Amino acid sequence: MTQATGKHRLSRRARIALMVVGMLLGGGLYVLLGQRPEPTDEQKLYRLVSEAQKAVAQHNTTGLTRLISDDYQDRSGYTREQLVPMIASWMRGGEQYEVQPEIKQMTVRGDFADMVLDVRLRYGGAQQYTEPYRIKLTLQREGRQWKVISAEGWGEAQGGVMGGGESG
C-alpha cells in the first residue's frame, strides 16, 4: 500500500495471474452455462409429436414427411414412397385442420420406441374436436433424430375425417 493514496499496488506478475484466473473462470462459466444438456429420448419424442402437430396446422408437407423414415412400412403394406404423395395431396386440399395429440404411452427400448397417441381432429371450421383416434407408432433413432417407421390407426382417421382411405 502506498502512503500517499492508501491504495493497493499489484505487481505486474500478480496482475497477469489475476487476468489468467479471470479468463479461466469466465471460460468455465461460459461452458457450464452456455451448453445445454442433450435432451432425453422422451423429450425428443415429445418434440416430434409437437412438430407433427405444427406441420399439420401450417399445411407444411415437408415438415410432416421429414418425420417419416425412409424405412417406413406399416401393416397395410404402405411405404414412405406411397405415404408422402397421400400426405401432400391431403395438405393441398386447402381445408384447415387442427390436431390435438395426447401421448398415452411411450416406451423407449434402445434405438426403437413405441408410442400410443389419442388424436382428436378439428377441421373445416368445426367447433368441436372429433372423438379420439388411437394411433400407434413405432419409431427408430436415425442419427440424433427419431423417425416413424410404422403407424397403425392413421387410416381410420383418414377415412373418418379426411374423406376416404384404408386402414393403416
The 10s digit of each residue's pLDDT in 33-63 is 667 788 999 999 999 999 999 998 888 999 9
CA distance 132 to 6: 78
Rounded to whole angstroms, what are the CA distances from 31 to 26, 51, 110, 139?
A: 9, 29, 29, 33
- Spell 24-55 as b/e; 16+ CB within 10 A means b: eeeeeeeeeeeeeeeeebeebbbebbeebbeb
CA distance 113 to 130: 27
Parallel/antiparallel/unpaired status of strands 145-152 and 112-123: unpaired
Largest CA distance in the chain: 93
Our measurement of the distance from residue 168's CA atom to the centroid of its chain's CA atoms, rounded to an integer in Å, reads: 22
In the prediction, which pLDDT does 37 show? 82
In the prediction, which pLDDT does 164 show? 44
Collect the ranges in the chain with pLDDT lower than 50: 2, 161-167
- 165 with 85: CB under 8 angstroms? no
> Other CB atoms closer than 10 Å to residue 101's CB: what's the count?
20
In the prediction, which pLDDT does 30 show? 63
In the prediction, which pLDDT does 5 show? 54
What 3-state class would DSSP assign to 107? Answer: strand
Torsion of CA 89, 91, 92, 95, to 10 degrees: 120
Nearest-Å Rg of the Cα atoms of the chain is 27
CA distance 151 to 111: 17
Kindly report whether the global pTM for this prediction surpasses the value 0.85.
Answer: no
